[in-house]
Amino acid sequence: MRLLSVNEEKFMMAANKCDGTTAPEDLQLEFSNRVSPNTETNIIDISFGVRYVLKEEPILESVYRFSFEVKNLSSFVVKNDDGNMTINDIMPHLLNVAVGTMRGILVVKTAGTNLSKYPLPIIDATTLSNNLSSKK
């Protein structure tokens, strides 16, 4: 596996809606992803997003597309009877890279704002992968 590219799809920040006295537990984190594997090219694209919500209002939303090359990608992709697909074994690894990269991006993008006090926390990629898969 190797990371080929990272591209911004969406970024919105309303840092002025967070006054700096907000308790971390007052911020809700929401995650999203969209996975597009191409077994012919061995490329898998993951659009991964994070949203910070304060009092039911989004104050930060960031979505990036991560492109990975995975040797023998077809061996990890299972097409289900319902038309959906399952990506076996590698999703937690890919999400680890996406979350870590997103954390660094948010550190830079929120620098000098009140949101810099709320970095993306450490997240268990296996649990995140299972939760994102169950939402579909």
The CATH class given to the 2-134 domain equals alpha beta
| pLDDT tens digits, one per residue of 22-37 | 888 889 999 999 999 9
> What pLDDT, on a 0 to 100 scale, did the predictor assign at position 57?
94
| pLDDT tens digits, one per residue of 85-111 | 888 899 999 999 999 999 999 999 999
- Give the gyration radius of the chain's Cα atoms: 16
What are the structural domain ranges in the chain?
Answer: 2-134
Asked if the model's pLDDT at residue 135 lies above 70, the reply is no
Q: Residue 134 — very low, low, confident or very high, per pLDDT cuts 50/70/90?
A: low
The set of residues, in sequence order, having a beta carbon less than 8 Å from that of 119 and lying 6+ positions away, is 103, 106, 107
What's the whole-number average pLDDT of the chain? 91
